[in-house]
Amino acid sequence: MERYFYWVRLADVPHWLLDTPTRYSGEAFDEPWMFVDGRTLPDPGPLKAQVAHPGTKRDFVFSSIEETPIVSEAVASAFRTLAPGDVQLLPVSIEGESERYFVINATKVIDCIDEARCREVQHYDEDNPSPYYPGEYRWIYGLRIDPSKTEGAHVFRLKKFKVAFIVSEDVKNALEAVGNLGVSFERVTGAIESH
C-alpha cells in the first residue's frame, strides 16, 4: 500500500506572524536556522518568540524569517503521539500568551526526492552556487518524493531541499483534526495533478 506524504506550507489564511525563536533572554542564536536544519539539537534552554505582526492566532504557523514550525499544545500532542522518533518538541513562550507552544524540530533528513517526477527542478548555477547550501536545489515546483525511501519516518526534511517540512498522511489527518491551522498540505506523492 502506497504511503502518502505532504509538504506543510504556510496557508493563505489570516494568521499571526511570529519571529524566529530566541533564547529567553532575547539573545538570538548563532544559527537561527538550526530549527529547520533536520538535526537533533542539544537542549537550547528556555525559548521565546515575539509576535512580529498580530493577527488570528493559529495552532500551527511558521516563523516569519527562518520558517521555524511553531505549534500549540494540541498540535504538539499529535506529533508526540505519531512521530516521537522524528521530532524534538522544544517549549517556546510566546509574548503575551499564557498557553504553551512548541517548536517542532524535525530531526531526520531523508534523500528521497524523485527529481524525474517533479514538475520543475531549479538548480543553482555552477558558477553561482548557494554559499549557504552547497549542492542544494534553488527551488522545486510540483515536488515529488519516493515514499519507498522514507525509512518509515512520519516527519522529515529533504536532503538538498530542507525548506520542505514533510509529514505523512497520518500526521496530516491528526493535524487537520485539531483544526485552526495556519498551514496547508501539498501532496508530494502520487501523480502530479494537472491544472
182, 11 contact by CB (below 8 A)? yes
195 is a domain residue = no
128 is a domain residue = no
Tens digits of residue pLDDT in 70-94? 999 999 999 999 999 999 999 999 9
66 is a domain residue = yes
165 is a domain residue = yes
194 is a domain residue = no
Least trusted range by pLDDT, from 57-61, 70-74, 136-140: 136-140
9, three cell numbers: 506550507
Go through 105-135 and write b for each residue having 16 or more CB atoms within 10 A of its CB, e for each that does not: bbbbbbebbeeebbeebeebeeeeeeeeeee
For the purposes of burial, counting CB atoms within 10 Å of the CB of 159, is it exposed (0-12), middle (13-18) or buried (19 or more)? middle
Rounded to two decimals, the pTM is 0.93
127 is a domain residue = no
18 is a domain residue = yes
Q: How many folded domains does the chain comprise?
A: 1
132: pLDDT strictly greater than 70? no
Structural domain boundaries enclosing 25: 5-112+139-187
Name all contacts of 2-5 with Cβ < 8 Å and 24+ positions apart. 2/147, 2/189, 2/190, 3/147, 3/150, 3/168, 3/169, 3/189, 4/147, 4/168, 4/169, 4/187, 4/189, 4/190, 5/145, 5/147, 5/150, 5/166, 5/167, 5/168, 5/169, 5/187, 5/188, 5/189
Mean pLDDT of 173-191: 95
Mean pLDDT of 129-150: 84
More confident residue, 102 or 136: 102
Instruction: Please report the pLDDT score of residue 124 as a whole number.
Output: 79
Tens digits of residue pLDDT in 22-56? 999 999 999 999 999 999 999 999 999 999 999 99
Element (H, E) at 160: none
194: pLDDT strictly greater than 90? no
193 is a domain residue = no
Place of cell 489570516: 14
